[in-house]
Amino acid sequence: MRVPHRWRRLRRATACALVAVAAVVMSGCDAAEGGIATQEGIPQEIKLLGVRDQTGPVAYAGIGGARGGKLAITEINRSGFLGDGVKLTIEEIDTAGSIETASAEMAQATADRTVHAIMGPTQGQQAATVAPMVERAQVPTIFTQAGSDGVVINDYTFRATAPMASYYHLATEYLAAKGLRDVSVLYNATYPTFAEIGEGAFPKQADRHGLNIVSSTPVQSTTQDFTTPVRSIAGENPEAVVMLLTEPQSVTALTQLRQAGYDGQVMGTSVQGGGNLTEAGRHGEGVIYPTDFSPALRSEKARDFVAAFRERFGQKPDVYAAEGYDGMWWLARAIKASGSASREGIKRGLQQVAKEGFDGVMGELTFEGNDMRVPGVLVRWNGRSEELVSDGGAS
């Protein structure tokens, strides 16, 4: 992993980005005239870059995606999937939670004609910032997470994570089926994915299923103490609480909610996956959440993936690893489908595979344009591991 020199780079990140983008724009017209990544056919080495957080508050998403991708690369190379001796290689670059660093690194990456494709930033704001750059440089880029609008916006931007809102109906349907109709919502209003669900998708789904939203409380990404909002929610005593917060926030808020005396059902998100509720101890037991992947899935592909990941990394894979894994296999299938690892060949192949769909560790994968969709799964945290509540067709 290449780590940027933070203090020097952050001062000049914006300037670097502008210079590099200018270089990309100047070279964009003659991109087909030279560079390994512009040549048709499949070379012996196909160079990829991962430009995503490896440190910072949501590094878990970038680390998980990178690990899942590396496991897939090992399997792809070992199996000869792309031809005898053909190897995918990847270098990881840490964007360190910074939009400026992501812009600078992506500008340099897209200007490098030896780079065939990029695995893009996981943070929505970073991804939306660099997406236009990807189009100008015409470098196929696969994002995981990055649930914001403005990410999948052109022929070169792809996303291997289904928008959380596209399967959050599993949570709403469960609440309605269990008769838990009075619901309070606590959501991070500055995190685009959670804001979209808290302000749009969930209220619409709740209305459709006859749920009553007692209160809806927005907080900021910087909020660390939830004493005031959870006391208010506990006083309302709803039949369920929908919690749309980042991983560290959710542990704190859940603990404070239980300490405030609330003992009803809590509905979370995939952020609670991967054992992230362990830190909440007994307060996390019984939390239910929809997710795009769980180690509890029973399909052969999912079981094999869990076993291989545990053998290599010594732990169960989380949703981010599953997304990185399926995303890398999408890329490999694209190269094979088009018969070319050129940037244009990969773009064509990704679009072709998206039209056909394929079976991944997250289930039967379909696409809306360049954007992945998954069946989704509803799970319950029992204090030690996830248990299936309903599989949504993913198992």
Domains 6-162+302-373 and 165-291 share a fold: yes
In the block, residue with structure tokens 């959670």: 194
In the block, residue with structure tokens 């070992």: 78
Global pTM value: 0.85
What's the pLDDT score for residue 342? Answer: 97
What's the pLDDT score for residue 262? Answer: 98
In the block, residue with structure tokens 């926030």: 249
Q: Is 33 helix (H, G, I), strand (E, B) or coil?
A: helix
| Beta-carbon count within 10 A of 16 CB | 19
Per-residue pLDDT of the chain (395 residues; tens, 9 = 90+): 554 443 334 434 444 444 444 444 434 443 333 357 888 999 999 999 999 999 998 898 999 999 999 999 999 999 999 999 999 999 999 999 999 999 999 999 999 999 999 999 999 889 999 999 999 999 999 999 998 889 999 999 999 999 999 999 999 999 999 999 999 999 999 988 899 999 999 999 999 999 999 999 999 999 999 999 999 999 999 999 999 999 889 999 999 999 999 999 999 999 898 888 999 999 999 999 999 999 999 999 999 999 999 999 999 999 999 999 999 999 999 999 999 999 999 999 999 999 999 999 999 999 999 999 999 999 999 999 999 998 765 65
- Pair 248, 225: CB distance under 8 Å: no
Whole-angstrom distance, CA of residue 167 vs CA of residue 173: 11
- The pLDDT tens digits for 71-124 are 999 999 999 999 999 999 999 999 999 999 999 999 999 999 999 999 999 998
3-state secondary structure 178-244: CCCCEEEEEEECCCHHHHHHHHHHHHHHHHHCCCEEEEEEEECCCCCCCHHHHHHHHHHCCCEEEEE
Question: Which residue(s) pair with 265 in the sheet?
Answer: 240
- Pair 269, 290: CB distance under 8 Å: yes
What's the pLDDT score for residue 274? Answer: 82
End-to-end CA distance of the chain: 34
Q: For CA atoms 106, 110, 114, 117, give the dihedral sign.
A: positive
CATH of 165-291, one of 3.40.50.2300, 2.60.40.420, 1.10.1740.10, 3.30.450.370: 3.40.50.2300
- Pair 163, 147: CB distance under 8 Å: yes
Tell me which CATH code domain 6-162+302-373 carries.
Answer: 3.40.50.2300
What's the pLDDT score for residue 243? Answer: 98
Selection from 277, 284, 130, 124 nearest residue 195 by Cα? 124
In the block, residue with structure tokens 């870059």: 49
Selection from 296, 309, 300, 274 nearest residue 361 by Cα? 300
What's the pLDDT score for residue 96? Answer: 95
**Widest CA span of the chain, in angstroms?**
67
Q: Collect all residues with Cβ–Cβ distance below 8 Å to 22 and sequence separation of at least 6.
A: none
- The pLDDT tens digits for 313-330 are 999 999 999 999 999 999
Alpha helix stretches (DSSP H) within 80-123: 99-111
Q: Is 315 helix (H, G, I), strand (E, B) or coil?
A: coil
Domain range summary for the chain, segments of one domain joined by +: 6-162+302-373, 165-291
- Pair 197, 187: CB distance under 8 Å: yes
In the block, residue with structure tokens 């696409």: 367
